[in-house]
Amino acid sequence: MAATLRKMKINEANMCAPGGPAADAAAIRARVDAVDWTRVHAELDAQGWAIVPHLLTHLEADAIADLYHQEQGFRSQVIMSRHGFGRGEYKYFSYPLPPLIQALRTAAYPRLVSVANRWHERMGKDVRFPHDLAAFLDRCHRAGQVRPTPLLLEYAPEDYNCLHRDLYGEHVFPIQIAVLLDQPGEDFEGGEFVMTEQRPRMQTRAMVLPLRKGDAAVFAVNSRPVTGVRGDYQVKLSHGVSKLLSGRRHTVGIIFHDAA
């Protein structure tokens, strides 16, 4: 999108919601509440991921993507090539999170707790998750996982993100969210969100998530249970992004556990 047009849209978004990019926390909460969580849960159980279409409006997506080039509001920047993570860069938000991100993180967490707890039970893991995000973050913080993990990623042509798992310490909430902030085919080409699933004694399965601008991918962080003939077994998942062919691609990632 042309810079002027984008700027115009941002101003419009800010006018609608004083206090930050479309920072209407009540609207975000209402939108999260309106999601068909029964379908999301069923798809998470069946394949380890689900798409929530239009979780953010295009104005909100533009407003968040534009935060990337602000100096303030971030605790660190990672240049992926320096760590062997791929090519491209991302920044971790600092606390307090932008109101829209905070609202999304707080509202989505309780909608996913039942799946997280059921997965843990089925995988024979003892940890259970409390029903609100503040209580879970308190647990992370007491264990020294105090740094915020929500992040903003920016990809330019040739950039990509190697398959990985977003683990930042002992405490791991098993589901996370990523929202695509640009339109495939218009703002960028390539750069597909890819997941792999490693099954015991079987070949690895690859999955491409068909995201559009403003859509959220809700997906397994690390592992999930699968029903087999002799009971449940665990599969391991990873996610990444294929090479961007042209344009710019931004994503906001919402991870529920904080980092050590």
Query: Which positions touch Fe ion (CB under 5 A)?
Result: 166
> Closer CB to Fe ion, residue 20 or residue 253?
253
Query: Residue 83 carries which side chain, given as an amino acid letter?
Result: H
Q: Work out how close the CB of 129 gets to Fe ion at its nearest, in angstroms, rounded to a whole number.
A: 20
Q: State the minimum distance, in angstroms, from the CB of residue 164 to Fe ion.
A: 6
Min dist. Cβ of residue 51 to Fe ion (A): 16
Residue nearest to Fe ion (CB): 166
CB 180 within 8 Å of CB 64 = no
Nearer to Fe ion, 47 or 176 (CB): 176
The smaller minimum CB distance to Fe ion, of residues 45 and 166, is found at: 166
- Comparing CB distances to Fe ion, the nearer of 43 and 166 is 166
Cα-to-chain-centroid distance, residue 231:
30
Nearer to Fe ion, 23 or 116 (CB): 116
Helix (H, G, I), strand (E, B) or coil at 92: strand
- Residue 124 CB partners (closer than 8 Å, separation 6+): none
- Strand ranges (DSSP E) for 182-258? 188-190, 193-198, 205-209, 216-220, 223-228, 231-241, 244-247, 249-254
Closest approach of Fe ion to the CB of residue 149, in Å: 10
Radius of gyration of the chain (CA): 18
Nearest approach in angstroms of CB 16 to Fe ion is 30
For residue 122 the two structure tokens come to 């089925």
